[in-house]
């Protein structure tokens, strides 16, 4: 068995995406890379899993220290397939999900397939990092995301005493690499999406809809948030947890219930 560190990769844009190739570039600096990624884009799938359809695992790339599989499932399916099937006899040192085409800051973390996979990996007590670039272009420039993603990965791997579970939501601004000011530890911005549905009519006279919308930042001037960091030229790093209990409401609810 190899003494090199083992990095597991996944994403939600499919194994064919430019961001996934950039993630491999980051990961292979630190050891062996084994990846399972969706065979088609799975954005917005959050923690979704496949229950009613069979899953097909297919080897799509194999070279020295890099092995890539595709799976006809969700990002979380990919993580479950890795840790409950593929890695039963191997120790994984780190999980990277991404690099996503588009921001996963603020409330996007709840919808994101990229972050769904990173959070799922943390359930296995493996440090996980969701990496995203705030550019949806299929041919986006990932230079800054690779540079700062590498820096975050090194920091996590070099500090094994970090608490577990550990899941980091890392977003890189879509600006030239040499204009990025550095890394800023942040908290999730409070805000919400307001959707719009564009109605169209198909050639058969049936109505259909396209989903669009805009994010409303509820605290645009809060300098400790991820959205502020990104808007001001910083890489935003938010430690993520899955306990969604509203502790500040417990006492009042206890008195009325």
- DSSP annotation string for 132-156: EES---TT---HHHHHHHHHHHHHH
Q: What is the pTM for the complete model shown? A: 0.94
Altogether, the residues listed in the chain come to a count of 257
| pLDDT over 90 at 1, yes or no | no
Over residues 46-82, the pLDDT tens digits come to: 999 999 999 999 999 999 999 999 999 999 999 999 9
Distance CA(5)–CA(240), nearest Å, equals 24
Query: What is the fold, at CATH topology level, of the domain defined by 5-190+221-256?
Result: Stationary-phase Survival Protein Sure Homolog; Chain: A, (3.40.1210)
Secondary structure of residue 86 in the 3-state scheme: helix
From start to end of the chain, where are the E strands? Answer: 5-10, 31-38, 57-63, 66-71, 94-101, 128-133, 167-172, 182-185, 191-201, 207-217, 234-239
pLDDT band at residue 2 using 50, 70 and 90 as cut-offs:
low
């Amino acid at each position: 068995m190899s003494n090199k560190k083992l990095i597991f990769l996944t994403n939600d844009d499919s194994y064919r995406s430019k961001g996934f190739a950039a993630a491999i570039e980051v990961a292979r600096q630190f050891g062996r890379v084994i990846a399972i990624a969706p065979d088609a884009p799975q954005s917005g799938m959050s923690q979704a899993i496949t229950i009613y359809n069979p899953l097909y695992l297919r080897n799509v790339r194999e070279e020295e220290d890099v092995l890539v599989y595709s799976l006809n499932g969700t990002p979380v399916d990919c993580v479950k397939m890795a840790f409950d099937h593929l890695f039963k006899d191997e120790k994984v040192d780190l999980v990277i999900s991404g690099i996503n085409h588009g921001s996963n800051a603020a409330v996007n973390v709840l919808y994101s397939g990229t972050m769904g996979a990173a959070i799922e990996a943390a359930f296995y007590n493996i440090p996980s990092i969701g990496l995203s670039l705030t550019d949806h272009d299929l041919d986006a420039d990932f230079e800054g995301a690779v540079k700062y993603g590498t820096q975050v990965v090194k920091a996590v791997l070099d500090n094994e005493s970090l608490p577990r579970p550990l899941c980091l939501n890392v977003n890189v601004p879509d600006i030239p690499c040499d204009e990025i000011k550095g890394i800023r530890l942040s908290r999730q911005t409070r805000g919400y999406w307001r959707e719009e549905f564009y109605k169209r009519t198909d050639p058969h006279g049936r109505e259909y809809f396209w989903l669009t919308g805009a994010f409303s930042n509820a605290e645009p001037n809060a300098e400790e948030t991820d959205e502020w960091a990104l808007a001001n030229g910083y890489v935003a790093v938010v430690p993520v947890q899955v306990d969604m209990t509203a502790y500040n409401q417990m006492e009042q609810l206890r008195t009325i219930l």
